Amino acid sequence: MYLRSDGRRSNGLALRIGVLVGLSVALFAVLFFRLWDLQVLSGSKYLEEANNNRTRSFRVEAPRGKILDSRGKVLVENRTSLALQVNPQKLPSRPARRRVELARLGALAHMSPHQVRATMREQLAVSAGAPITLRRDVGYDLVYYLQENAVRFPGVQVQRVFVPKYPHGSLAAHVLGTVGEINEAELKEPLHRNLAPGDEVGKGGVEQTYDRYLRGKPGTTRIQVNALGEPTPGVQLVSKPPVPGNSLKLSLESNVQEAGEQALAGEGLPGAFVTMNVHNGQILALGSYPTFEPSVFTKPLTQPQVNSLYRNPLSLSPLTNRATEGLYPTGSTFKLITAMAALNSGVITPETTIVDNGALTVGGESFHNSGGASYGAVNLVSALQVSDDVYFYTLGYKMWTTGALQHWAHLLGIGRPTGIDLPEHQNGLLPSKQWQEREYRRGVVEGPWSPGNNIQLATGQGSLQTNPLQMAIAYATVANGGTVPTPHLGMQIDDSAGRVLKEFDPPPRRHVHVDPTYRASILEGLHKAAQAPGGTSYAVFGGFPIPVAGKTGTAERPPKREQSWYIVLSPYPNPRIVTAVTIEEGGFGAESAAPAALKILEAYYGKHPRGSAGPNGGSPG
């Protein structure tokens, strides 16, 4: 230290001391004002955040609404289940410790470590961030064990969830569809903008179509936790309860649905059926065989497990709804459409007679009747009664340059959307000159459109691809006088108290002019085919007490055996319902499809005496 002779400090030392004092004052001022800001100006904000750190919010799943048939029978309801879940974000970060915990989890869930990892990968790919469900329907002994050993299983919980319950097993499985966790692509859809990973949505059938009604609104539970994040015993904050989903009532009649499914199962061959009200399009029954158990999908399944169960060739594609997704030729059931086209284009009148000598020869190619039969002079009614191929070959030949056959098939709904309220459907294929020539240029078919192509189409053969629902619509349109109905399953939405919130009555697709004289002649021919001696299905329907009008079909599908078809309108002459049945490799129409249709009508008329409209409306016969 240097002192002047008068004893005062040097000016340099004084300056340094002054700087230090100023810095101290400045730092104190900064600290003071920061504390002022934290405690006074922003105190309420940080108090709220501190309180939030003491609470946790949990999303509470809402139960889905029930699905009922037209008479109120429950087809799908809910049950509660305990699900073993794991939060991947809370698993140990070190690989070795992570593997150990996953192995312990696998032992609890009765799964190998490989199965645990595969399940986690599958579910994370579907809904990243959501808890992974390893197993449902766990017992309370596992709940108690996890509570006692919570430290050993971080991120593991047993959650109460709602699971669909199917009181009648596989009944109407293709109509109902399934429910599953929302995936990443679905989360981006506007319809699902309020959903979160882990939420469940409809994955097919009416579960998917009416998901916005069936899906409830989740609630929230807030609990208080301590510094370790553990719940404070006995303290639960205000909760927002979930809102259950609404119920969906379908137009299905369970007894008719069951009869159709049993009839197909009795044949043991792939096939499908549909029964529909011809006036308003309400579906009374719709099924496909083989079918599946929707309850299987209430448990976590990896994609390889789904594939092994349902998508290998030996399983015969039970997830496919053949009633709406099938792609088939129809055989002689197409003759109703051919008759409509020929009558309306002036090719024939109901009284026109064509001489059948057993074959039609065009361009050196002969087209013969089934079984080599020859029927002589026939008109429209008798041709339909005996299913005279040569008669309809002749009509197809006369219309091959006009496009009248394709025009009327298109009007009646072949090869175009049906409008049914199911996500699974196919439009099929209605072959035409334009289509044939386009495919010919691409090298897909052998030649341009020829008379033979139209002749084949006139009897439901060739490249035609359609399904039972489209054919049922075509028959219904002729039967009701020209209204193309919109087929639908949904009837109404009810709230939890049973009040009707919304009714479904979609308008017709369009209207087609159907001459009453033409309609009467076609229905008379179909009536004689079913219930007059010599008719193609007289052996099946001859003794049925309800007057019907039905048509057999036998479609060639080389190298497979013939496909069996039957479409029936009842009661005749003012039909109320149409039933269409097809059975792959079932042989002649009267062999398998017609007997199956008979069982469906027996079930329907067992509940609806002749002249009764039943719960689904329609004019009495």
The predicted structure's pLDDT at residue 604: 97
Secondary structure of residue 277 in the 3-state scheme: strand
Greatest Cα pair distance, the chain, in angstroms, is 151
Confidence label for 497 from pLDDT (cuts 50, 70 and 90): confident
Domain 56-246 CATH class label? alpha beta
β pairing state of 483-484 and 55-60: unpaired
* Model pLDDT, residue 618: 42
Q: What distance in Å separates the CA atoms of residue 200 and residue 473, rounded to the nearest whole number?
A: 34
Provide the residue ranges of all domains of the chain, joining segments of one domain with +. Answer: 11-53, 56-246, 254-607
Torsion of CA 460, 464, 465, 467, to 10 degrees: -30
Q: How much of the chain is helix, strand and coil, in % rounded to 5?
A: 40, 20, 40
Q: What residues contact 379, with CB distance under 8 A and at least 6 apart? A: 350, 351, 352, 353, 354
Inter-residue contact 285 to 253 (CB < 8 Å): yes
Q: Would you call 401 helix, strand, or coil by DSSP? A: coil
Distances 440 to 48, 148, 207, 433, 447 between C-alpha atoms, Å? 74, 73, 42, 10, 6
pTM for this prediction: 0.83
- pLDDT at position 348 over 50: yes
The CA distance from 544 to 547, in Å, is: 7
Per the CB < 8 A criterion, the answer to whether 399 and 341 are in contact is: yes
**Above 90 in pLDDT, residue 458?**
yes
> pLDDT per residue over 59-104, tens digit each?
677 889 999 999 999 999 998 877 777 777 777 777 777 787 778 7
Q: What is the C-alpha R_g of the chain?
A: 35
Confirm or reject CATH 3.40.720.10 for domain 254-607, answering yes or no. no
pLDDT tens readout for residues 50-70: 555 556 566 677 889 999 999
Q: 356-378, pLDDT tens digit by residue?
A: 999 999 988 999 998 889 999 99
